[in-house]
Structure 1
Amino acid sequence: MPGRDPGEPHRTATSLELLFDLCVVIAVAQASASLNTAVIDGQYVSGLLRFALVFFTIWWAWMNFTWFASAYDPDDIPYRLLVLVQITGSLILAAGVHRAFEGGDLRVITLGYAVLRTALAVLWLRVARSDPGRRRTALRFAAGVTSCQAGWIGTLFLPESAQLAAIIVLIVAEISVPVWAQSAGMTPWHPHHIAERYELFTLIVLGESVAAAAAAVRSAFDRNHHSGALYLLAAGGLLMVFAMWWLYFARPAYTLLTTTHHGHRKRFTWAYGHYLIFASAGAEGAGLAAYAGLVTRRTDVPPVAAGVAVTLPLAVFLMTVWAIHVRPHRRSGTEQLAIPVGAVAVLVAALSPAPALVAGLSAAVLVVVVTVVDRTGPGGRDTGAR
């Protein structure tokens, strides 16, 4: 199982990777739906914390496999079988999301996560045996992943009062494993392949948000609820998702990865920062669905709280895209300032009578500003620099 060439031409996502993504997004959908329920029930803080934890397990399992497959993908029978085991783990994890939200029961979700991660540890042991030059790195990955899984399982036997502290420690340990392992030697990941994998998953999660919001609006229409507020919500939700797509893909991610190929810290910042991009995109669908419940009077959530559920995910998405996609490109001062200002405008939109529409219009204005600056400013398309 030797490492793949990081300069390999025409490297694209495989059908097995896409199947993995589609199965993982089932867990994303469950987490989004559970967050929606928590908001409707008025469990804002506990719902957000559980969403953050559940989404961490989803994102972390996805991200680790993505980077592994970029470096090592022999596409032989043992590899395929171990990836299918990981897919099975993702489905088990998805089945446990509802329990984790409802009563804090982490048993099923921990089992699914352990299946996912243990299969990856086995793959790292294969690397240790077949790639002598990176044996130390692979063994560190295998040891770190295995130790963390033992910790997660052990957490189930702790008293409830001690579980939160243990979870925080384990999250820190998990995100430290790649840093520690890669310090012994870099794996041969492929910049174009990684960029495509992240872009595809962003599209899938955005699609899940659209599906969640569309289902909520359709449910309202099915009950013959045709108020103007519902139409404004639908229009605003579309503008928000369109703007999220536009702004994320306004920057070619692979150029950042290529220029930071030897910069560990910048690469980790880019990779880890996508937790907030994926989580906020998933939470946006939950927020739009919760506001649809307010419009149709199926919830007693205060209007401002429902508005924040709509605008906060978008603001987090915008700021994270600005931090890891816009600032590193060192674009003009106008563009550097526009996104933070736009994020503040989106947050303030929670106080308006139509938060989704106002936030969507604010995001649309931001798209116009970024596009104009790109095309007319230094390095823009009109100057021929791209």
Structure 2
Amino acid sequence: MKSDASVRAWYRPMRARRRDEAHRAATPLELFFDLCFVVAVALASEGLHHDVAEGHVGHGLVSYLSVFFAIWWAWVNFTWFASAYDTDDDVYRLTALVQIAGALILAAGVPRAFGEADFTTITYGYVVMRLAAMVNWLRAAAGDPAHRATALTFAVGVGVVQAGWLLRLLLPPAWLMPAFVVLVVADLLVPVLGERRRQTSWHPHHIAERYQLFTLIVLGEAVLSTSVAIQRGVDAGNGQLWSLAAAGTLIVFAIWWLYFDRPDPLPPASVRGALTWGYGHYFVFSSIAAVGAGLAVAVDHDLHAGHASARVAGYAVAVPVAVYLVALWALHLPAKRGVGRVLFPAAAALVLLAPWLFAPVDLIAGVLVALVAVTLVLRHRTATRTA
């Protein structure tokens, strides 16, 4: 009996889990996986902050979006696979740890990607993660005959695209960006082709919880920037930073409130809806982390520690906040009617006007607080009418 239990702990056939499984929650391994991504997100946010503060806005934006794609896409693929096939045997744990090691390699390459436009280390870390994922898909193909075609499509697709990422390192500089775009599209097409063969059995509540947890990770960057503003204000005796810290705190609180507004949003059941929901969160996650970078730029401007103008510093906060509002409106609020249908885009437009006025970060905070208040009133009215 003990021998059989030991074998089951080492290796279990990788069969699809049920979509209606009760009490499905994030595992300690998934939480550990998320924790290791904190470093990569923090370094990407810091790279964006440094470039914008020094006046290199275009370079910083391209580098940030490219680096964040690698971070986000590796996390997304691990998350959705685990939702459908997590066996928690020793082999699965080892492949997850390999993916975590790849995430740490990826994080180590972020500073060089921003400073020298050298994505070699990031590519190696990314490929390590994705090849470990390919092993898991091969296990799924062997253990789940019903989804074998889907699993093999994923395994072959991941392998081919990773070969493309490695070959990209051999290209001349002029071809690197076009090749990057082509490979990003190829990576995004793999789940489209795989899920159309037969949809995997990911758990909607589990996926929603996992996305909420990653939202908290990227929110941590904005919290850190707010804390730094307070600390630097105390050290410099600059009272203006206290106002900026208060505004940053309100912005972070509002972003959290709007994402976690009740009821919790679930990904659509259809393949097209789930892909749109999952892919669209790239803009939610990347914009939240960029808010932290923008607040840091605003602190630098107030302390005269950077080269960004007042308007650039304002837009460093306004643009990611506006992107967040539009992305959240598109993904989580499709059923809104009346005023609710235009509320978030209108708030985004007001946010983009703030850098042309006095104290833009304070104004952005005011718009977000007003948006939270209006959404609460509308939700209360809807609930009252329904009752």
For Structure 1 versus Structure 2, the TM-score category normalised by the shorter chain is over 0.9
Decide whether the 8 Å contact of 2:226 with 2:249 is kept in 1: no
Decide whether the 8 Å contact of 1:24 with 1:90 is kept in 2: yes
Out of 166, 174, 185, the residue aligned to residue 179 of structure 2 is 166
Out of 89, 110, 130, the residue aligned to residue 123 of structure 2 is 110
Distance 2:150 2:162 in 1: 18
Pair 1:220–1:98, CA change in 2 (3 A)? farther
- The amino acid across from 1:247 in the alignment is L
Q: How far did 1:220 drift?
A: 4.1
Q: For residue 136 of structure 1, what is the aligned residue in structure 2?
A: 149
Q: How many equivalent pairs are there?
A: 374
Q: How far did 1:216 drift?
A: 4.2
Q: How far did 1:150 drift?
A: 0.8
Q: For residue 100 of structure 1, what is the aligned residue in structure 2?
A: 113
1:12 partner SS: coil
The structure 1 segments of at least 4 consecutive aligned residues displaced by more than 4 Å after TM superposition are none
Write the mapping of 1:205-216 to structure 2, written as runs, cut at 5 A. 205-216=218-229
Q: How far did 1:191 drift?
A: 0.5
Q: For residue 7 of structure 2, what is the aligned residue in structure 1?
A: none
Distance 2:168 2:287 in 1: 27
Do structure 1's residue 331 and structure 2's residue 336 form an aligned pair? yes
Give unpaired runs (5+ residues) of structure 1. Answer: none
Out of 216, 241, 251, the residue aligned to residue 252 of structure 2 is 241
Decide whether the 8 Å contact of 1:83 with 1:119 is kept in 2: yes
Query: TM-score, length-normalised on structure 1?
Result: 0.95
Pair 1:179–1:251, CA change in 2 (3 A)? farther
Distance 2:132 2:228 in 1: 35
Q: For residue 368 of structure 1, what is the aligned residue in structure 2?
A: 373
Q: How far did 1:116 drift?
A: 0.8
- The amino acid across from 2:50 in the alignment is T
Aligned alpha-carbon RMSD (Å) = 1.2
Distance 1:147 1:213 in 2: 43
Q: For residue 265 of structure 1, what is the aligned residue in structure 2?
A: 272
Distance 1:225 1:93 in 2: 38
Out of 286, 289, 299, the residue aligned to residue 292 of structure 1 is 299
Q: For residue 277 of structure 1, what is the aligned residue in structure 2?
A: 284
Give unpaired runs (5+ residues) of structure 2. Answer: 1-13
Distance 1:217 1:158 in 2: 46
- The amino acid across from 1:359 in the alignment is I
Q: For residue 175 of structure 1, what is the aligned residue in structure 2?
A: 188
- The amino acid across from 1:128 in the alignment is A
Distance 1:308 1:239 in 2: 17
Do structure 1's residue 352 and structure 2's residue 357 form an aligned pair? yes
Q: How far did 1:236 drift?
A: 1.0
Do structure 1's residue 25 and structure 2's residue 30 form an aligned pair? no
